[in-house]
Structure 1
Amino acid sequence: MGPGPRQAALNHRSAVVFIHPAELPGPTVPGVAPFAADFLLDTTRSAYLLVRNGIRNRYPNIRFLLSHAGGFVPYASHRMAMAIMADTGRSFADVLDDFSSFYFDTALSSSAAALPSLLAFARPGHITFGSDWPFAPVAVGKLFAAGLETYPALDTSTRGAIERTNALALFPRLGTPPHPIPQSPAQRIRHSLSRGAMRIVARMTSTS
């Protein structure tokens, strides 16, 4: 995962790139459901390589959104930063800053055990609501959503930002109603004729 024209194009567009794990290319470990552990490591590995290979630093306009609270990123960020510092010679603070620049969703991660680490690590405005639908069953998504709603350390403002405002900052067009599509002259004529025909039918129906 290195620099290239794709990353340059995404950076030029200030794109939001959502990183979500999928089925692993290798065999699964018996007794370990991939979504329970391996998916989280897959996301963490992706984030690690984006920082290690300089993608996060070279293309600062790309907003990378990590699913499932970033896997293990918030919890293991300092350990990973130490490894990258030793590997690349970059400063610890610089590497850690790259990790904290990610965005994180709360899909299957808004528990009383996971939220403290995420809230302590992520930058303000960098946490968005996530349900993991359609991958996770609706009941599971609702269970974790309830965890976010009832987490006592969140005030109303912060909770509202996570549930809506932070996402609107990433996707501002979703917060405004769509602009009406202008009709061509032919479309306006057809629309006028259709309304006229409907009025005639209505009058005939009322007098019959």
Structure 2
Amino acid sequence: MTTVTTGRIDLHQHLVPRGYREAFAAAGGEHALPQWSPSAALAMMDEHLIATGVLSLSTPGTHFGDDAAARQLTERINDDHAELVKDRPDRFGMFATLPLPDVDGALAALSHAYDDLRTDGVILLANYQGTYLGDPAFDPVFAELDRRGALVLVHPAELPGPSIPGLAPPVVDFLLDTTRAAVNLVLHGVASRYPHVRMILSHAGGFLPYAAHRIANLTGANELVTPRAGLHPGLDQEAVLEGLRGFWFDTALSGSPSALPSLLAFARPGHVVFGSDWPFTTPEGVDYFTSGLDAYPGLDAAGHASVDRGNAEALLPRLAG
């Protein structure tokens, strides 16, 4: 059995358990899910010097329209995931999945994940059936996440509207979905109301680092933000900008000479972590973006070490050492 004692910590890596594959197909899933197994994950990780992969279930999550079925599927997947981590805690971690938009079911799943399974954190989708993170409907979930000091991976879902024919959502739509969620979270004051929740935005935050100053200028105390229930009052341009900079960002699909300068210029020190997005990214894709990160001249040796491992250790101390 291969053991890696040093190396990257991958905070954006997925699992595709068999039970989920079957549920996804039964619900009419329109695209093929990639092949996945623990052994294949370990082989990929060894190739890219990844010590530990903190796994999560990708979009569309576990809710396919029926609350009871979603709760059962969520529990089964989280239980199986926890067994994998129990067997190899050095190599695997866990972002538990929740059956949102069922808030009561999500609260029950949170309790089970933390109290019984000792999860490392949770994954939340940017929107659930068109309701975005930051919406007051999800406040009870964020209150519980805050009570537990939770680490949250925010992952995009399909936009609540038609896609462009022939252009799969991960190509462009996912970037917008993450950006929408981040802005909505800030404008609803989620970070200030629930300060113990630490949120990682997938894929370098979508369009956020590149467009953050534009977003802050057009939303801070601006008539372009339509007043509605739940919006945090009194946010000026600087407050919006600082709210957006409060997130963490992973490097999944973003180790490129155009994305990295924008991300590193915007993110706070210590707020960038490594991500592979395997197996939804091909092995060639993982190699391309990981090699791009390794070769990026804008980071010195200490900076590369922080992105590869150190910043993740600060978020998940059990992986330090």
Give the TM-score normalised by structure 1: 0.80
Tell me, in whole angstroms, the C-alpha distance in 2 between the residues paired with 1:53 and 1:137: 36
- Counterpart of 1:124 (choices 244, 262, 269) is 269
Instruction: Quote the offset at 1:112 in angstroms.
Output: 0.5
Secondary structure of 1:65 counterpart = strand
| Higher helix content, 1 or 2 | 1
Cα contact 2:158–2:173 (8 A) shared by 1: no
Which runs of structure 2 are paired with 1:52-201 in the superposition (5 Å)? 52-85=187-220, 86=222, 87=225, 88-175=233-320
Structure 2: gaps (5+ residues): 1-134, 226-232
Equivalent residue number for residue 60 of structure 2: none
Moved over 6 A (4+): none
Secondary structure of 1:4 counterpart = helix
Tell me, in whole angstroms, the C-alpha distance in 2 between the residues paired with 1:84 and 1:128: 28
Identity of aligned residues (%): 53
Tell me, in whole angstroms, the C-alpha distance in 2 between the residues paired with 1:144 and 1:4: 35
Cα contact 2:158–2:177 (8 A) shared by 1: no
Secondary structure of 2:170 counterpart = coil
Deviations 1:165-204 (A, max 9, x none): 001111111225xxxxxxxxxxxxxxxxxxxxxxxxxxxx
Instruction: Quote the offset at 1:107 in angstroms.
Output: 0.2
Tell me, in whole angstroms, the C-alpha distance in 1 between the residues paired with 2:192 and 2:210: 21
Kindly provide the amino acid, as one letter, of the partner of residue 114 in structure 1. A
Moved more, 86-95 or 34-43: 86-95
Instruction: Quote the offset at 1:137 in angstroms.
Output: 1.0
Moved more, 117-126 or 130-139: 130-139
- Counterpart of 1:17 (choices 125, 128, 152) is 152
Instruction: Quote the offset at 1:84 in angstroms.
Output: 2.3
Tell me, in whole angstroms, the C-alpha distance in 2 between the residues paired with 1:171 and 1:159: 18
Secondary structure of 1:57 counterpart = helix
Instruction: Quote the offset at 1:25 in angstroms.
Output: 4.7
Tell me, in whole angstroms, the C-alpha distance in 2 between the residues paired with 1:80 and 1:127: 21
Aligned pair count reads 176
Which runs of structure 2 are paired with 1:30-45 in the superposition (5 Å)? 30-45=165-180
Structure 1: gaps (5+ residues): 177-208
Instruction: Quote the offset at 1:27 in angstroms.
Output: 3.2
Moved more, 114-123 or 14-23: 14-23
Tell me, in whole angstroms, the C-alpha distance in 2 between the residues paired with 1:149 and 1:20: 24
Indicate the RMSD between aligned Cα atoms, in angstroms: 1.4
Moved more, 103-112 or 86-95: 86-95
Deviations 1:9-56 (A, max 9, x none): 111111111011134454321132211110000000000100111112
Tell me, in whole angstroms, the C-alpha distance in 2 between the residues paired with 1:134 and 1:22: 16
Tell me, in whole angstroms, the C-alpha distance in 2 between the residues paired with 1:57 and 1:79: 22
Give the TM-score normalised by structure 2: 0.53
Equivalent residue number for residue 63 of structure 2: none
Moved more, 109-118 or 4-13: 4-13
Deviations 1:143-185 (A, max 9, x none): 1000000011110000000000001111111225xxxxxxxxx
Deviations 1:53-89 (A, max 9, x none): 1112211211110000000010110111123211354
